[in-house]
Amino acid sequence: VSRIALDGMGGDFAPQSNVEGAVRAARRGLEVLLVGDEAQLRPRLEEAHASDGVRVVHAPDAIGMSEHSARETRNRRQSSIYVGIDLLKRGEADAFVSMGNTGAVLAVAFFALGRLPGVDRPALGGLLPTERGQTLLLDVGANADARPPHLVEFARLGSAYMRRATQVPEPGVALLNIGEEPSKGSTLTVEAHALLAARSDIRFLGNIESRELLSGDADVIVTDGFTGNVALKLMEGTASLLFSELRRAARRSPLAAAGALLLRGSLEGLRDRVDYRRRGGAPLLGVNGIVMVGHGRSDGAAVESALVAASSAADAGILAALREAVAEV
């Protein structure tokens, strides 16, 4: 049974959503270490008639969603993020999950866990739903600036992760670019293309354009953290705009409203597929431990899904696979 440390105080609906998620995951057999202010967590846990699978680990301090100095947040040793990652470091947890301040989680993870040998730039991976399964887009925000060799590192980390997480023996890696030919793109992508094409340990598929991001043609798509973050939030924004327009369209006439009602079941399935909020966390790859960051707007079901994803990653031996892949050089 894997033991997952959960940041009880992180996220827009914390701590309630985290308590709910922990209880739901515990009912599925996970052991959850719920880290945060005992006075806030314990009563909610009792109210939820928690099973035995949830244990509270007290952390008196909580880092807010809008605190932005990495230098300050990484030293807040009483914070739920720090205490949770420290459980991971000391071997008392197999993974750490937070719906809180992404920058703070990255800063504490870099600082307290350190990087895997051979890794210069850990990257945050976004799991995108496709028709055929999932595509891992990375980096989606750990490195706002990247140089060509970093994109090669992302490709190696992403390949190792997907090989282990999805059982695809040789994951295909594509480079996000603004044209298909090797000569197209920015200085960064043109140089990265040449480096990626020259490697024998990466099954490089070439460039992919953003309109194919959700096509499932690649298992891993690499990009700098600025572009990846813009892309991830844009898909979320476009989908949510379309759904709100759809709701408005449905209100336009009684017939349209009836139509929407008949379609509702199918539409909700669709929404589940594209709604980032309802999906598991984004893995942070390249640090010395399994760390997942979830969406700030996660509800209890999303927290549960992130905990289950973290537990599967731990069970699959993701960390050993990553360590091996990057040490191979």
Residue 187 CB: number of other CB atoms within 10 A?
9
Q: Which residues 6+ apart lie within 8 Å of 249 measured at CB?
A: 256, 260
Tell me: does residue 241 bind its own copies (CB under 8 A): yes
Stretch in the footprint of its own copies (CB under 8 A) among 78-86, 113-121, 220-228, 314-322: 220-228
Least spacing, CB of residue 8 vs its own copies, in Å: 25
Does residue 198 bind its own copies (CB under 8 A)?
Answer: no
Q: Which of residues 22-41 bind its own copies (CB under 8 A)?
A: none
Reference 8, options 78, 91, 99, 113; nearest CA is 99
Residues 194, 198, 261, 327: which binds its own copies (CB under 8 A)? Answer: 261
**How far apart are alpha carbons 253 and 258 in whole angstroms?**
9
Query: What six digits make up the tokens of 322?
Result: 């990553």
- Beta strand spans in the chain (E): 3-7, 31-36, 54-58, 95-98, 123-130, 133-138, 172-176, 203-208, 220-222, 282-285, 291-293
Is 64 near its own copies (CB under 8 A)? no
In the complex, minimum distance from the CB of residue 31 to its own copies, in angstroms, rounded to a whole number? 35
70 binds its own copies, rule: CB under 8 A: no
Distance of closest approach, residue 265 Cβ to its own copies, in angstroms: 7
Among 151-159, 191-199, 248-256, 277-285, which window interacts with its own copies (CB under 8 A)? 248-256
Smaller CB distance to its own copies: residue 239 or 316?
A: 239
Residue with the two structure tokens 């807040």: 76
Q: Which of 194, 263, 320, 327 binds its own copies (CB under 8 A)?
A: 263
CA–CA separation, 141 vs 226, rounded Å?
Answer: 6
> Binder to its own copies among 68, 77, 132, 199 (CB under 8 A)?
68
Q: Which of 107, 152, 173, 213 binds its own copies (CB under 8 A)?
A: 213
Sort strands 172-176 and 220-222 into parallel, antiparallel or unpaired.
parallel
Min dist CB 7 to its own copies, Å, is: 20
Task: Tell me whether strands 31-36 and 123-130 are parallel, antiparallel or unpaired.
Answer: unpaired
1 contacts its own copies (rule: CB under 8 A): no
In terms of CB distance, is 159 or 177 closer to its own copies?
A: 177
CB of 12 to its own copies, least distance (A): 14
Q: Is there a contact between 216 and 203 (Cβ–Cβ < 8 Å)?
A: no
Tokens of 313: 């990653």
> Where in 120-159 is the site for its own copies (CB under 8 A)?
141, 144-145
Instruction: Give the CB-side neighbour count of residue 161, counting CA atoms within 13 A.
Output: 34
Please give the structure tokens belonging to residue 167. 């059982």
Quick check: 167 binds its own copies (CB under 8 A)?
no
According to the binding rule CB under 8 A, does residue 71 interact with its own copies?
no
Using alpha carbons, select from 146, 153, 139, 66 the residue that is nearest to residue 103: 66
d(CA 295, CA 98): 9
- The C-alpha atoms of residue 271 and residue 241 are separated, in whole angstroms, by 12
Stretch that binds its own copies, among 45-53, 149-157, 244-252, 300-308 (CB under 8 A): 244-252
Which residues contact its own copies (rule: CB under 8 A)?
68, 141, 144-145, 176, 178-179, 181, 183-187, 189, 209-214, 224-227, 229-231, 233-242, 245-246, 249-250, 252-253, 255-256, 258-267, 269-270, 273-274
